[in-house]
Amino acid sequence: MIRKFLRDEKGNTAVEYALLSVLFVLGIVGTWSFMGNTLGDFMSEVAVYFSNQVN
């Protein structure tokens, strides 16, 4: 029974797609968190620059 279970390849593709999806999402979240901070800092600097120009 265990040998039959280990040789059974049904569902392998679904597991592979699930793992690839998890890696893809982790990559997006990591990039988003890094770029989010950098982009937020940049936008703050732009806002300060323009508010100083108006005053």
The yes-or-no verdict on residue 48 having pLDDT over 90 is yes
47 is in which domain, residue-wise?
2-54
**Whole-angstrom distance, CA of residue 44 vs CA of residue 5:** 57
Answering whether pTM is above 0.85, one says: no
Q: How many domains does the chain have?
A: 1
Using 50, 70 and 90 to split pLDDT, how confident is the model at 3?
Answer: confident
Residue 7: band (very low, low, confident or very high) from pLDDT cuts 50, 70, 90: confident
Q: For residues 11, 15, 16 and 18, what is the CA-based torsion angle, rounded to 10 degrees? A: 140
